[in-house]
Structure 1
Amino acid sequence: MNGPTHGYWCECWTEEVTGTGGPARLASFDAYSAPQADRWVAIALRTISPALDSDASDEAWTWLHGKRAETRRALMRSEPCTVTITHADVRITWTIRPVLFLPLAHRQDAELPACARSFKPHRTD
């Protein structure tokens, strides 16, 4: 098994601005580089920008053309980042956090970890 891998955990959340509904996670993504992480947000913003109201579209393009470079530099320094736009009464937030991805044991490896032998499958009768 290989050791831990540095990467970024990315999520997209929505929340009603009125506060009547709690936040809901729409998507998550595991990125293995800062460019891959900020590209995930950029693709999402470019995809939804035609459907956004004019203020939200302006927020999206401001990040894409001005603040995206700041976001990438912060990620390269292992700092978490957030990109938020508000469309009508919905706040959409992308979060990017530096993480360590731990390797998983492959089922076909010759030597599984000792804990694998203690696993008992759940059976329903």
Structure 2
Amino acid sequence: MLMSPPPDDARLGDHVGKPRRGYWCECWTQDLTTQQQPALLASFDAYSAPQADRWVAVALRTISPALDPDASDEAWMWLYEGRVYTRRALLRSEPSTVTITQASTRVTWTIRPVLFLPLVHRQGAKLPACTDDFKPHTPHATD
């Protein structure tokens, strides 16, 4: 039997208009041979602890064949043993960090418990008059 997908509001269930618990996940890289700060490589919003640690697990499994033996060992150690500690920390609403070092590059995944705030639907709403005056910034040659 084929069924139509529920309307967007129905998929959200009781979360419409209410803050929703979840996890903010980030992946940072840092070149250890320079004085540069870590760079944000990717971010992900997860709505459950399993979804959050799965994001890290998929990334580690994906890159592990390209890692040197030490970094690969770090990755698989977390996948086999560390992941359970990460999950427990997340379920206690504690942040968690996973780090591996490949040659001179450090890769760090962070997972933090957060409250996602709902966005207001703008369709049909009258925006303030000042929005008509807004002009997007155009970069100059000196920017």
Shorter-chain TM-score above 0.5: yes
Partner of 2:121: 106
Deviation track 1:41-76 (CA, whole Å, cap 9, x = no partner) reads 000000000011100000000000001001001000
More RCO (CA 8 Å, sep 6+):
1
- Amino acid in structure 2 at the alignment position of 1:35: P
| Compared CA separation, residues 119 and 14, structure 1 to 2 (3 A) | same
Point out where structure 2 has 5 or more consecutive residues left out of the alignment: 1-15, 137-143
Partner of 2:3: none
Point out where structure 1 has 5 or more consecutive residues left out of the alignment: none
Larger Cα-atom Rg: 2
Partner of 2:6: none
Q: C-alpha separation between the residues in 2 aligned to 1:12 and 1:87? A: 14
TM-score (norm 2): 0.78
1:57 equivalent in alignment to 2:72: yes
| Compared CA separation, residues 107 and 58, structure 1 to 2 (3 A) | same
Deviation track 1:16-47 (CA, whole Å, cap 9, x = no partner) reads 12343221110000000000000000000000
Identity between Structure 1 and Structure 2 (%): 67
TM-score (norm 1): 0.88
Counting matched residue pairs gives 120
Aligned structure 1 segments of 4 or more residues deviating by more than 3 angstroms: 116-119
